[in-house]
């Protein structure tokens, strides 16, 4: 018997919960359990505490322990990708229609990672140390965490020890609260993971609602945008604060589209106060407020009101937390990293190598800076056009393209930056070609994350950024070519129509959100 799901899906309750759980939840549970086991050996830990537990000490100090830990991380990541693709084949073909059951599957997949040591990144320890800075009254926007004693013992990456924080006042308030009540850095890391999981929960709840508003099948949007391995690896296992930022932005966008504009703007602003890149969403919230039939004057009025509410929220939060607006200058902090994943940085480094080969000297700083500036100018032009010439697309689609421009043309690309756009893209809809591209990107960046993680460094498969990326995407193509199930998902019927409205009511909901579209005349 079919029932209507309040977030837009339909479900067939003929399968028992037990059978559904065994079929879809258990494979992912096994995968994340194996990942968590590997994290005990190669995850990031402070130099005291859990490392002294005999079993953990054995995993981290013996050859066999390190080998098993590394294999566990790589195997767990591969199993997670496989479990996600298998579930996706049934979601995309319409065999899974119950959003609530998918929520349960996601929760089961996450559970083993909750208490595991941080994997793939140790930024979470920097969050903790920055909270200590605020707690001691030190300006985190002009001082690095090396200003406080014991920062290295807390697990902070020395690369970030002398740089100011690029995070907003809301997240610094959370960091200060955690530093105030928790003395052990590993326990603090778990607290930050719970914050990140709260962000994932917001995504899991609001992405299906956003999808319904755009005429997109809610279970498909949830599977693609929230249940994918990049979310579990980077938002849960790594505990990146991008999870909370995107959860708040998704919630705010949804409330704004449902008519609660002030609450929506406050939530989107709260997301930007976690990580200021979220400010990019505000002009598109203004477009939502103006409406699809708005004139240029009405749009400017809505933008003024949107930024007025956001500015008040920013000032009030900064005053409560006790920090200034130094985050504006600190936004350049991530740009100090060079990675071949960034086209602008890659072109700059490649050009410097060519100049060096011709005996013209080492000019890597100059060439990288020039290409970064050119690409950043291009990003600004693209974003300005998306904001001021929005006709023909939904506001959410415009925001997705703006995030994509920032990532693709920015100075640094990290695998989790894809997640600024992916959950929203799943809700806004994707053509068949776009869907297949996204599937390859998710699978490729999942394997790239495993290749570039601490699980492979100094051992086994240590690879540079470029080689790791090529190896990862090559492995995806190989897997797709030899596995009928994955090949069908990538190239067959489930993905042949993309992620688009499927019936007349869905098409109508989508079309009425298109700015200047047929229903906005």
Inter-residue contact 494 to 413 (CB < 8 Å): no
Question: Average pLDDT for residues 320-335, to the nearest whole number?
Answer: 67
pLDDT tens per residue across span 363-386: 777 888 888 889 889 999 999 999
At 492, the pLDDT band (50, 70, 90 cuts) reads low
- pLDDT score recorded for residue 337: 58
Inter-residue contact 202 to 252 (CB < 8 Å): no
At 511, the pLDDT band (50, 70, 90 cuts) reads confident
- Within 10 Å of residue 451's Cβ, how many Cβ atoms? 25
- pLDDT score recorded for residue 515: 87
- pLDDT score recorded for residue 340: 63
- pLDDT score recorded for residue 458: 39
CA 193 to each of CA 21, 436, 470: distance values in angstroms, whole numbers, following the listed order: 25, 31, 31
CA 64/CA 84 separation, integer angstroms: 30
- pLDDT score recorded for residue 57: 79
For residue 11, the SS3 value is strand
Q: How many helices (H) and strands (E) does the chain have?
A: 24, 2
- pLDDT score recorded for residue 336: 55
Instruction: Give the helix/strand (H/E) hosting 118.
Output: none
pLDDT tens per residue across span 264-292: 999 999 999 999 899 999 999 999 999 88
CA 69/CA 269 separation, integer angstroms: 40
Sign of CA pseudo-dihedral 361, 365, 369, 372? positive
Q: Has residue 138 got a pLDDT over 90?
A: no
Q: Has residue 9 got a pLDDT over 60?
A: no
* pTM, rounded to two decimals: 0.88
- Within 10 Å of residue 356's Cβ, how many Cβ atoms? 13
Tokens of 140: 């985190």
- Report the candidate in 418, 442, 424, 438 with the shortest Cα–Cα distance to residue 495: 438
Tokens of 164: 């100011």
**Which residues make beta-bridge pairs with 499?**
430
- pLDDT score recorded for residue 436: 87
Contacts of 396 (CB under 8 A, 6+ apart): 210, 214, 253, 284, 424, 427, 428, 513
Q: Has residue 356 got a pLDDT over 80?
A: no
Domain boundaries, the chain: 2-520
pLDDT tens per residue across span 114-130: 999 999 888 999 999 99
pLDDT tens per residue across span 184-208: 999 999 999 999 999 999 999 999 9
CA angle in degrees (0–180, nearest 5) for 148-192-105: 165
- pLDDT score recorded for residue 490: 65
CA 516/CA 46 separation, integer angstroms: 55
- pLDDT score recorded for residue 56: 82
Sign of CA pseudo-dihedral 235, 270, 375, 166? negative
**Residue 319 buriedness (CB in 10 A; 0-12 / 13-18 / 19+):** exposed
Q: Has residue 479 got a pLDDT over 80?
A: no
Question: Average pLDDT for residues 391-395, to the nearest whole number?
Answer: 91
**Please, what's the b/e burial string for 328-346 (b: 16 or more CB within 10 A of its CB; e: otherwise)?**
eebeebbbeebbbbbebbb
Question: Average pLDDT for residues 383-408, to the nearest whole number?
Answer: 93
Higher per-residue confidence, 77 vs 339: 77
Sign of CA pseudo-dihedral 180, 184, 189, 191? negative
CA 351/CA 367 separation, integer angstroms: 7
pLDDT tens per residue across span 151-171: 888 888 888 788 888 899 999
Question: Average pLDDT for residues 379-394, to the nearest whole number?
Answer: 93
- pLDDT score recorded for residue 4: 37
- pLDDT score recorded for residue 516: 80
Q: What rounded mean pLDDT belongs to the chain?
A: 84
Report the share of the chain in percent with pLDDT over 70: 84
Q: Has residue 461 got a pLDDT over 50?
A: no
Beta strands in 357-474 (DSSP E): none
Q: Has residue 460 got a pLDDT over 70?
A: no
């Amino acid at each position: 018997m079919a029932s209507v799901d309040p977030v837009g899906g339909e479900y067939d309750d003929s399968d028992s919960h037990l059978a559904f759980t065994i079929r879809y939840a258990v494979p992912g549970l096994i995968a994340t359990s194996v990942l968590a086991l590997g994290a005990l050996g190669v995850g990031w830990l402070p130099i005291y505490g859990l490392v002294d537990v005999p079993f953990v000490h054995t995993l981290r100090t013996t050859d066999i322990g390190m080998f098993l830990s590394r294999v566990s991380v790589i195997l767990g990541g591969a199993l997670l990708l496989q479990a996600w693709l298998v579930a996706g084949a049934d979601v995309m073909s319409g065999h899974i229609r119950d959003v609530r059951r998918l929520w349960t599957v996601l929760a089961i997949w996450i559970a083993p990672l909750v208490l595991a040591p941080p994997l793939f990144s140790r930024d979470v320890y920097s969050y903790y140390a920055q909270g200590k800075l605020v707690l001691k009254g030190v300006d985190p926007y002009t001082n690095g965490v090396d200003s406080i004693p014991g920062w290295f013992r807390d697990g902070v990456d020395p690369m970030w020890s002398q740089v100011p924080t690029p995070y907003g006042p809301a997240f610094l308030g959370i960091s200060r609260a955690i530093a105030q009540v928790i003395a052990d850095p590993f326990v603090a890391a778990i607290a930050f993971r719970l914050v990140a999981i709260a962000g994932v929960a917001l995504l899991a709840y609001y992405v299906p609602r956003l999808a319904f508003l755009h005429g997109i099948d809610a279970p498909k949007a949830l599977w693609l945008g929230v249940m994918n391995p990049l979310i579990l690896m980077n938002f849960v296992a790594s505990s990146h604060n991008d999870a909370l930022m995107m959860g708040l932005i998704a919630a705010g966008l949804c409330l704004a589209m449902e008519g609660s504009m002030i609450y929506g703007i406050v939530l989107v602003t709260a997301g930007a106060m976690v990580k200021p890149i979220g400010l990019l969403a505000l002009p598109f919230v203004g477009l939502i407020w103006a409406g699809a039939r708005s004139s240029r004057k009405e749009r400017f009025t809505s933008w003024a009101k949107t930024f007025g509410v956001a500015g008040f929220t920013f000032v009030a939060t900064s005053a409560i937390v006790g920090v200034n607006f130094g985050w504006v200058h600190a936004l350049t902090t991530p740009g100090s990293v060079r990675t071949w994943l960034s086209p602008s940085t890659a072109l700059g480094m490649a050009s410097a190598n060519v100049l060096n080969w011709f005996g013209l000297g080492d000019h890597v700083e100059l060439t990288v800076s020039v290409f970064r500036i050119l690409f950043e100018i291009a990003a600004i032009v693209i974003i300005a056009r998306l904001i001021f010439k929005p006709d023909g697309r939904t506001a959410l689609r415009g925001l997705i393209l703006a995030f994509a421009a920032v990532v693709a043309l920015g100075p640094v690309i990290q695998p989790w930056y894809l997640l600024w756009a992916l959950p929203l893209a799943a809700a806004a809809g994707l053509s068949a070609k776009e869907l297949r591209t996204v599937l390859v990107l998710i699978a490729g960046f999942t394997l790239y994350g495993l290749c570039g993680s601490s699980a492979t460094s100094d051992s086994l498969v240590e690879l540079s950024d470029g080689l790791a990326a090529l190896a990862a995407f090559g492995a995806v193509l190989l897997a797709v070519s030899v596995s009928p199930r994955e090949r069908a998902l990538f190239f067959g019927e489930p993905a042949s129509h993309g992620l688009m409205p499927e019936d007349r009511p869905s098409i109508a909901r989508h079309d009425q959100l298109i700015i200047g579209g047929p229903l906005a005349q």
